Amino acid sequence: MAVNMREPIESGCPDGFQYMHPTSIKNFGQWKYHTHPRPGVLMHEAYSGDRLYTVKCGTQRILDVFTLRTLCDIGDEYADGHIHFTIRSLPEFLVDDEAKVEPLIKALEDAGFIVGGTRNSVAMISHTQGWLHCDIPGTDASGVVKSMMDELIDEFRECNMPNRVHLTTSCCQINCGGQGDIAINVQHTKPPRINHDLVANVCERPSVVARCPVAAIRPAMVNGKNSLEVDEKKCICCGACFPPCPPMQINDAEHSKLAIWVGGNHSNARGKPTFHKLVASGIPNNPPRWPEANAIVKRILKEYKEGARDWERINEWVERIGWPRFFEVTNLPFTKYHIDNWRGSRARLNSSTHIRF
């Protein structure tokens, strides 16, 4: 008997070509050079002579439906429907005619969007998933982003930095936001407090034990009930145990702080990628405007802008002047907490293949 096999349902990343601008498809792999006519605009020219203009603008980062519709309407009217989003959630509009660039910029600015974020500007801050998607956050990373970009709006709009500056924020020290020229990350400073009455009812204890990156959690009997205990000498206060076991509360209005890290770079354009290094810790997690963290970031940017040579990234600037000079010019205190070269990581970190999230 003939059997009609069901066709497989393809899922995963769709073919990107169907969404590309016709000029991009026509000249795929055939681009000659690009220029930067003004902040927020790039012009690419192909060997065929075709030109494509990209206009970039800033948003509040997490986009509501109203804002998305507004952006799409502008795209339909001024860019023949060609809009895409960067990894930092910035919309980019593509037009193939120079005459369409200025009306598009005007429409965006009239709607309240800031055109910029290209070349040697402070790019939009990338932040981690935060409360929208993740179960660990110690703060609202997107809130830090909005408050900080409000302060840095002129650095986004202009191209006045020695080189491009990438800022990142992460709402726990797992730091899935990645490496940044300057990173603002939540830092818990006390181990979790366990509500033993609830553990037996709420937690899947093996999951919690497996989740700890330094193997600091053990099953324990407390008051005749199954519970857990934390070896506080081992605990690195990462907060990973809280999601599978909410009675292990680690978020704290006083003891959950912000830390600032400097010099991370994913790129291997001129040197190896680098990890960012801790430069300030114990900064109050002070929503909604995070004034203390903002003040430190602005101080670092000011010194970088004044002290770096043209096209030096922040890590290259620090490498040239040295870390002692960095702490001197930024007036940040250097403490014993700043030294960690990871020589002990093999002994200190749980490298079991059973570690999972």
Smallest separation, CB 268 to ligand SF4 (Å):
24
User: Which residues are within 8 A (CB) of 51 and not within 5 positions of it... i.e. 6 or more apart?
Assistant: 23, 43, 44, 45, 96, 98
Under DSSP, is residue 122 helix (H, G, I), strand (E, B) or coil? strand
Please identify, using beta-carbon distances, which residue of 218 and 270 lies nearer to ligand SF4: 218
Smallest separation, CB 25 to ligand SF4 (Å):
35
User: Which residues are within 8 A (CB) of 334 and not within 5 positions of it... i.e. 6 or more apart?
Assistant: 324, 327
Smallest separation, CB 127 to ligand SF4 (Å):
8
Residue 336: φ, ψ to 5°? -65, -20
Under DSSP, is residue 165 helix (H, G, I), strand (E, B) or coil? strand
Q: In whole angstroms, how large is the CA radius of gyration of the chain?
A: 24
Please identify, using beta-carbon distances, which residue of 118 and 169 lies nearer to ligand SF4: 169
Type of residue at 71? L
Q: What is the 3-state secondary structure (H, E, C) of 325-340?
A: HHHHHHCCCCCHHHCC
Please identify, using beta-carbon distances, which residue of 217 and 296 lies nearer to ligand SF4: 217
Smallest separation, CB 191 to ligand SF4 (Å):
5
Q: What is the torsion angle, in degrees rounded to the nearest 10, for the CA atoms of residue 76, residue 28, residue 121 and residue 332?
A: 120
Smallest separation, CB 280 to ligand SF4 (Å):
18
Smallest separation, CB 236 to ligand SF4 (Å):
5
Please identify, using beta-carbon distances, which residue of 176 and 222 lies nearer to ligand SF4: 176
Please identify, using beta-carbon distances, which residue of 238 and 332 lies nearer to ligand SF4: 238
Report whether 199 contacts 180 (CB < 8 A).
Answer: no
Binding site for ligand SF4 (CB under 6 A): 128-130, 134, 136-137, 141, 170-172, 174-177, 191-192, 211-212, 214, 216-217, 230, 235-241, 250
Residue 266: φ, ψ to 5°? -75, -20
How far is Cα 199 from Cα 225, in angstroms, rounded to an integer?
9
Please identify, using beta-carbon distances, which residue of 101 and 171 lies nearer to ligand SF4: 171
Please identify, using beta-carbon distances, which residue of 21 and 277 lies nearer to ligand SF4: 277
How far is Cα 100 from Cα 80, in angstroms, rounded to an integer?
10
Smallest separation, CB 212 to ligand SF4 (Å):
3
